[in-house]
Structures are given as structure tokens and as C-alpha cells.
Structure 1
Amino acid sequence: MFATPSTSGLNIDQVYEPAEDSFLFLDLLQEEVPFLQGRYEASVPLVLELGIGSGIVTTFFHNSILTNAMFLGSDVNPYACKAAKDTSKQNGSTQYFDVLRTDLWDGLRSGIVDVLLFNPPYVPNEIMPDYEESVKRDDWLDFALLGGADGMEITSIVLDRLGEILNPDGGIAYILFCRRNKPNEVARIMRDRGWTATLIGERTAGWEILSIYRFTRP
């Protein structure tokens, strides 16, 4: 078992507090160690976490999964950008880590990401958060939670554009879903598009069933 990073001092009124979905990500990434370390044993991969939030997943990744990697995080929440850097520093830090305040991967060159991590806003809700309103109220938490009517509005954008950001020579993505996102159907659609969609694991969390899929090109 690897140590769970500390997020002490995190302001949960400003940044999403690590919860069952976060800890599922840590547990399942731990099971992926042989796959990932074997895949990147002789290279220095670039790892990008979308919607990095507290930074607990990226910190766990650079402390316990791939210590030979370079890391980027992105988030529209300015407080999350700072919190992610603080979490890294609290837990030993890495010199190869930075955070961008941006929407998804806007501003990054295509095809540069080797490993993409995404715990998306998956909660179904008819109304998506409004950026201008969030700026006005200085309230960003809804961006970490609300995913549109089927909880897939942001995730669908990422899946549609996955081939744009991943390294064409073997890039992979780990994406979390809840049951109401219909992950089995999503996996079928992605396979029809030419991707390999592998269920890494799932867990019941209260009233929800969460799962993580790994997407790769054959």
C-alpha cells in the first residue's frame, strides 16, 4: 500500500474536497503500477490531470506511480491551481510539476500528453455552471461537480477530442464515470471509434457506483 497524500489546510469552501471518487482513483492507479512502470521504464512521460482540484491524484502519481515523469495540471478554479501546488509541496514535492489555469488543455500543443488523468464533473444536473457568474461570485465548486443533464457534458468533450491531446505513439487516458453516465455504453462507442476501453475497476460509493476506464489506441 502507498501513502495517501495529505491535503491538510485545504479550503473546502473553495476547492473540491477529496472523497470516494478521489480515493478510488488512488487505489486503482496503485493496481496499474506494473502496467505503467513497464510502459514508461525507459522514457520520461508527460502526465496531465484535467480539473486537478486539490492535487491529491497527481501528487500520489508523482510520489508513488511514476517518479520519472513530468507533470501538469489544469483547472479553471484559481484556488485549485494553488491548492494542487501546495499539496505537492506538503508531500515531498517534485521539480517537474506545474499547473495551468485553463479550460481542459487549452494552450497546450497537440499530441504531447502520454498519460491523461480525469476525475470529471459527473453529477447530472440540468444547469451547467456559468464562468462569468462564478467570477462574479468567486465561487468555483460547481465546476468540479456538475456535468450537465446526463453528467457527461464535459466528459463527452474530452472523449471526442482525446486523440487531439494524447501522444499518437501510445498515449493513454484514465477517466472516471458514475453509473448514470452509462460507462458501458461509452466504452462501446469508444471501441467503435478505434479505441481500446478497459475497465480498471469499480466501487460502490454510497448511492453511486463509480468506475474508471483506461483508454488506449490499439
Structure 2
Amino acid sequence: MMRRARAGLLYVLLAGSVSASALEPTRAVTPPHTQSIHAGVQAPEAAGVLISGQAPASVSALRGRVLIVEFWASWCGPCVQSMPRLDALRGELRQAGYGERFEVLGVGLDDTLDAARRFIEVHPVTFPVVVDTLGIASRQYGVWRLPATFLIDHDGTIEQIYHGYGEGFGDDLRQRALSLLQTPAESVGAAR
């Protein structure tokens, strides 16, 4: 009998605490790796071990240029399409005279440098490619899908974010990059 009374009392206490806690408001906490990044904010640093192309090969070193930062991985099927498209865009804009004002930076997210190097050997590009094996940059950018592409203006502000690769990606990115390149750097900062 005493056991039943204790069990009943325990049940009432537990049910009461669950009910009370269920009614209390909760505060959602965003883990550091999913921090919100959006157009209009300063681009965080993205760097790593340079495996292809030439330095400078980090967001901070390329500040002052219109920059496309492409997060990719060797196991990402759509990256096989997006990387050559970005390389073609880079070639086109360099040929149009924007070489000193524009760059693409590839940031690989593979766990090993060897996997990333094999991908670049099979799918070569002319832009600088680094590998962030620790995932620091991907956490700072809140990358949740690959490829993840960030268009950054002269002053380091994110202008556009693309998650994934699909129809119209290349044309839209080209149009937006050209618009930024055709706007003098001074007027971009003044417009903010």
C-alpha cells in the first residue's frame, strides 16, 4: 500500500513538473555553426590550404574586388556543374577587362586534402581553390547545402547567396556580378 502511495505521489509530482515546464516559454538558441548570414552583412573570412591557383586566396586578401566564394566538396554532384560554370564566368569577365576587380575563390569542404586535390585534377579550374578541412569557414557562412555560392561586393558585403545549383544560376550570377563591376567601388559604399 505504501508503495502505491509513493508511486502515486511520484506520478503527481512528475506530471506536475512536466505540465508546468510545458507551459513555460522557451528560448531558441542558434548554435554557432548555424548562425544567420544573409545579404547585407560583412562576409566572414574564408581561407584554407591552397591546392590550386595562385595567392591571394582568402576573403580578406581579396577585399576590394567583386568576389564569388563557392563552397564545394568532392562528393557534391552539382559542384561538378557549378565549378566549370564559375571558371567560364571568371574567364569571360577577365577577358572583358575586369581581371583586377573580380575573382572567384573555391572553398573545399572535404575532410582530406587528397580527396579535394583529386576532384580538382578531374575538374580543373583557373581560380584559387583552398580546402578548409576544419570546417571553420563553412560554419561562419552557415553552409547547409552544396554548392553554396556567395557574391560579395568591393567592400566585403554579401550581395547574394545561392544554395544549390540549378537552371538560371550562371546567368543570374553573371548579371549580378557585372552590375557590381559596372558600379564604381566608391558609389557602392556611399549607397549603404
TM-score range, shorter chain: under 0.3
Q: Report which of the two structures shows the higher radius of gyration computed on alpha carbons.
A: 2
Higher strand share: 1
Give me the TM-score of the superposition, normalised by structure 1: 0.24
Higher helix share: 2
- Higher relative CO (Cα under 8 Å, sequence separation at least 6) belongs to 2
Give me the TM-score of the superposition, normalised by structure 2: 0.27
